[in-house]
Structure 1
Amino acid sequence: MRVTILGAGAIAGAHAEAVAALPDHGVDATLTHVVDLDPARAEELARQHGVAAHGTALETVLAETDVLHVCTPPGAHAGAAIAALEAGVHVVVEKPATLSLAELDRIAAAEARSTASFTQVVQHRFGHGIRQLRRLLDEGALGRALVATCDTLWFRPPEYFEVPWRGRWDTEGGGPTMGHGIHQFDLLLAALGPWSEVTAMAGRLARAVDTEDVSMAVVRFESGAMATVTNSLLSPRQTSDLRFDTEAATIELSHLYGYTDADWTFTPAPGRDDVAHLWQQDPGALPSGHLAQLVPTYRALAAGEAPPVTLADARGTLELVAAIYRSAFTGRVVRAGEIAEGDPFHASMRGTGPAWPAVKEAAPAQ
């Protein structure tokens, strides 16, 4: 399979390295093109990874591409994904998939017309620990999941937001809820299943941005389980933490940008030593990361099957993002399925808008 990377910024290197490692896992794939608006940046990424072809125009390489990896800022995701799907090219897009539910729904329509598939990078779903937890919950071995916490406590200094597209609704789509915490609460959804309602707050407390720099939410799941979700860019000691309390045990994950089995702890409930043996490490498992997701994804694409993370999966997570913003900015409980076409929060995560005034200039006309 011939692979093109669109967008040669920082995250593109992780994609290039993962694609290069695919043949070691029985997947016949080769990075053949790098495309970026900045020709020098495209050339540099191509040089680093031994790719002969590089340029600035996506449309010129789609006919020679089987899989497109979209690594641009979020504002360019939808247009590139739709163009690729219309050309019959599979799409692997970085998070967040789009700026809004409306954009993702347009991609869904394009996918429905296409022979190709769309998937979003949510690489932490593919670590051994979360897959083991999901299996044990499905089997009922841990009883019901009852309580969970999900904290993305990161730190981004003011200069981080000097990059023009960061911290703006029109180009990044949102703050830490949209672009940072999404990985952790996607894991929360992977473990606990569909959510049913959310109540949230958001604030711009310390950074000169248009979006929030912190949000907090309480989420109820269809199963009845309840969770808190915190997304912050103001936390000097950075951690990414999830805790799941079930009837039989507490399962915890503490890491930063990726995890291995060593980052999980398993604590049986009092009197439930009979479940201690259930939690096992797998020394041969890939750590959570792009390669761990791309191996089964490419195998599915090569077999003509749906990727392990479908567009519907990506939409469920993005809908929770929109619900957090809607609840935070309207002061109301938001229920799953409530944000439909015509709702301001369907068209934009900003929706009806936060109370604070805008501080960043609008993007120049293209």
Structure 2
Amino acid sequence: MPSSPRGHRARSGCCADAVTVSLSPRRVAGVTYSSEPIHRRRRRPRPSSWRTHDPEGPLVHETIVVGGGAIAHAHVHAVREHAERARVAAVVDVDADRARAFADETGVPRSGTDLAAALAGVDGVRPALAHVCTPPGTHVALATQCLEAGVPVLVEKPPALSLAEMDELLAASERTGVDVAVVFQHRFGHAGLRVADALGEGRPLGRPLVAVCDTLWFRGDSYWDAPWRGSWEVEGGGPTMGHGIHQMDLLLALLGPWEEVTAMAARRARPTQTEDVSAAVVRFADGTLATVMNSLLSPRETSAIRVDTENATVEVEHLYGYTDQDWRVTAAPGHPEAASWWTDGLDPDAPGSSHAGQVGAVLDALDAGTALPVSLREARDTLDLVASIYASAFTGRPVRRGEIAPGHPSYTTMAGPGAPWSRA
């Protein structure tokens, strides 16, 4: 889950291609391999020989993790939730010691520093998927390298530092015919899916009218000690880009296309180039008005969404992931059916929002030969909202969806015309 120049090696803590290789292949007993390339065309059923196969067990996708930092652990654990369908075969990091330590800690069988070697796989068999888990400034270059090797990608958020980079990645995916999915795991929780399906005319919750979306977290000064944090060039932004983007993406998944945003941003307390707080009012295509607050200054941390509809108030409060129990529905007067709809469908054992949920959906898509979720075009809508919040905050005027295009100062950098505090 910032921008270094394309093709340059990542900073310490990132992953990139390097010249040395320490991928010592250790094959699992009973596994056979095929040299047929994977996922060269969209929506094409993949023969079983494109995956590793144990004659006594199910077909298994082998994946690689690019980046040995904290978020990579979440990907390994997510794959293990689907152990009957997938396994992580290798980890690649620019730091060989870190890659080796990560592999030892997580039980990944191979580690190394050469991404090209990992993408080539074992005996010429490419991995089924590459998890790009490096700092944001490396995402586009590394994901593009994977695509050019014919390997589909699941990339951490934000997928790119700007809409220009996003369009570059989209072009690479279209050119190679290989898919990229973006990690927006809050779309895949059971409760979130239920609520999204219940919003709208004639549905249990009715039309949405008003919404609130808060990402109120706390990060002290030491958080910015990492060299890639807090700069427009490497991280791409502050809490609006790096933290609140998850809740904003869930808001868009619930409410649909946004239309216009008016915003403010400030650097109130932290030693960073970027904002540490932003506030926005978003108008959606159906007329719904939403406030969006993103902060790294809030000691009582919360991630929350509230949607007031014709029939009910539906709200979720959590921090890094929700379950059914984190949601609440309050029926409007005269609409008891909204509350009963909610309670009748509650499932304490249902999956919450997690990397495992999205990884499962990605594996389903690989099996079916369909586009990987969440697609780059869906993720671009979310990134467009982020860019527009910054653009509105830094220009003092509303910004419409799709307004930021080539030639716009905010197209190539989230900093746009420059933050007010940087011009002081």
- Once residues 276 and 234 of structure 1 are traced to their aligned partners in structure 2, the CA distance between those partners, rounded to angstroms, is 35
Q: CA RMSD in A?
A: 1.3
CA deviations on 1:95-153 (whole Å, 9 max, x unpaired) are 11111111111111111122321010011111111101111115622221000000100
- Once residues 376 and 347 of structure 2 are traced to their aligned partners in structure 1, the CA distance between those partners, rounded to angstroms, is 29
- Once residues 51 and 256 of structure 1 are traced to their aligned partners in structure 2, the CA distance between those partners, rounded to angstroms, is 29
Amino acid at match of 1:98: A
Amino acid at match of 1:77: H
Confirm or deny: 8 A CA contact 1:9 1:72 kept in the other structure.
yes
- Give how far 1:61 is off: 1.3
- Once residues 308 and 116 of structure 1 are traced to their aligned partners in structure 2, the CA distance between those partners, rounded to angstroms, is 13
- Once residues 176 and 156 of structure 2 are traced to their aligned partners in structure 1, the CA distance between those partners, rounded to angstroms, is 20
Choose from 304, 309, 312 the match for 2:374.
309
Which has the larger share of helix?
A: 1
- Once residues 335 and 373 of structure 2 are traced to their aligned partners in structure 1, the CA distance between those partners, rounded to angstroms, is 34
Name the structure 2 match of 1:96. 158
> Is residue 75 of structure 2 the alignment partner of residue 15 of structure 1?
yes
- Once residues 315 and 67 of structure 1 are traced to their aligned partners in structure 2, the CA distance between those partners, rounded to angstroms, is 21
Amino acid at match of 2:92: V
Instruction: List alignment gaps of at least 5 residues for structure 2.
Output: 1-60, 122-126
- Once residues 99 and 251 of structure 1 are traced to their aligned partners in structure 2, the CA distance between those partners, rounded to angstroms, is 32
Name which of structure 1's ranges 232-241 and 43-52 shifts more when overlaid on structure 2. 43-52
Confirm or deny: 8 A CA contact 2:310 2:332 kept in the other structure.
yes
Query: 1:356 is paired with a residue of what secondary structure?
Result: helix
Name which of structure 1's ranges 142-151 and 56-65 shifts more when overlaid on structure 2. 56-65
> Is residue 215 of structure 2 the alignment partner of residue 130 of structure 1?
no
Paired residue total? 356
- Once residues 50 and 77 of structure 1 are traced to their aligned partners in structure 2, the CA distance between those partners, rounded to angstroms, is 25
- Once residues 135 and 22 of structure 1 are traced to their aligned partners in structure 2, the CA distance between those partners, rounded to angstroms, is 26
Query: 1:343 is paired with a residue of what secondary structure?
Result: coil
- Once residues 229 and 162 of structure 1 are traced to their aligned partners in structure 2, the CA distance between those partners, rounded to angstroms, is 27
Name the structure 2 match of 1:118. 180
Name the structure 2 match of 1:345. 410
- Give how far 1:30 is off: 1.5
Choose from 384, 389, 403 the match for 1:319.
384
CA deviations on 1:182-222 (whole Å, 9 max, x unpaired) are 01111100000000000000000000100000000000000
Q: Where does 1:212-231 land on structure 2 (aligned, <5 Å)?
A: 212-231=275-294
Choose from 349, 353, 362 the match for 1:284.
349
Name which of structure 1's ranges 277-286 and 328-337 shifts more when overlaid on structure 2. 277-286
> Is residue 254 of structure 2 the alignment partner of residue 191 of structure 1?
yes
- Give how far 1:29 is off: 1.6
> Is residue 94 of structure 2 the alignment partner of residue 37 of structure 1?
yes
- Once residues 120 and 94 of structure 2 are traced to their aligned partners in structure 1, the CA distance between those partners, rounded to angstroms, is 19
Q: TM-score, normalised by structure 1?
A: 0.95
- Give how far 1:21 is off: 1.9
Name the structure 1 match of 2:23. none
Confirm or deny: 8 A CA contact 1:209 1:358 kept in the other structure.
no
Confirm or deny: 8 A CA contact 1:210 1:358 kept in the other structure.
no
- Once residues 223 and 140 of structure 1 are traced to their aligned partners in structure 2, the CA distance between those partners, rounded to angstroms, is 15
Name the structure 1 match of 2:220. 157
- Once residues 152 and 146 of structure 2 are traced to their aligned partners in structure 1, the CA distance between those partners, rounded to angstroms, is 7
- Give how far 1:284 is off: 3.1
Confirm or deny: 8 A CA contact 1:148 1:227 kept in the other structure.
yes
Name the structure 1 match of 2:117. 60
Confirm or deny: 8 A CA contact 2:259 2:282 kept in the other structure.
yes
- Once residues 320 and 76 of structure 1 are traced to their aligned partners in structure 2, the CA distance between those partners, rounded to angstroms, is 22
CA deviations on 1:267-300 (whole Å, 9 max, x unpaired) are 0001211322111212332121000111011110
Amino acid at match of 2:335: R
- Give how far 1:358 is off: 8.3
Instruction: List alignment gaps of at least 5 residues for structure 1.
Output: 360-366
Query: 2:338 is paired with a residue of what secondary structure?
Result: helix
- Once residues 192 and 383 of structure 2 are traced to their aligned partners in structure 1, the CA distance between those partners, rounded to angstroms, is 20
> Is residue 302 of structure 2 the alignment partner of residue 245 of structure 1?
no
- Once residues 319 and 180 of structure 1 are traced to their aligned partners in structure 2, the CA distance between those partners, rounded to angstroms, is 15
Choose from 327, 333, 346 the match for 2:398.
333
Name the structure 2 match of 1:362. none
Aligned in 2, Cα 1:11/1:358: closer, same or farther, shift over 3 Å?
A: farther
Greater C-alpha radius of gyration: 2
Confirm or deny: 8 A CA contact 2:325 2:348 kept in the other structure.
no
- Once residues 325 and 179 of structure 1 are traced to their aligned partners in structure 2, the CA distance between those partners, rounded to angstroms, is 13
Amino acid at match of 2:77: E
- Once residues 156 and 321 of structure 2 are traced to their aligned partners in structure 1, the CA distance between those partners, rounded to angstroms, is 15
Name the structure 2 match of 1:263. 326
Name the structure 2 match of 1:179. 242
Name which of structure 1's ranges 241-250 and 285-294 shifts more when overlaid on structure 2. 285-294
Query: 2:410 is paired with a residue of what secondary structure?
Result: helix
Q: TM-score, normalised by structure 2?
A: 0.82
